[in-house]
Amino acid sequence: MTEFFITAAVFLAFGLFIRNRIRKAKASAATGTPSGGGSSTGTKPRKQVR
């Protein structure tokens, strides 16, 4: 049972990590900023405008 929880946690963390990388890459490509910057603006810049 513990192995199942460990693998599930790793899988979830890996999925979230990939999702964040893809989201940041799309946002940087849309705004024209380098992928290195924009990490302090959060996941979606639209929320900051509001």
pLDDT digits (tens, 9 = 90+) for 9-28: 999 999 888 888 877 777 66
Assigned domain for 41 exists: no
Assigned domain for 47 exists: no
Assigned domain for 17 exists: yes
Assigned domain for 11 exists: yes
Give pLDDT, residue 19. 86
Give the tokens for residue 19: 């999702």
Share of the chain above pLDDT 90, in %: 26
> Among residues 10, 44, 11, which one has the least CA distance to residue 28?
44
Assigned domain for 44 exists: no
Give pLDDT, residue 44. 54
Rounded to whole angstroms, the Cα distance separating 44 from 1 reads 37
Give pLDDT, residue 4. 92
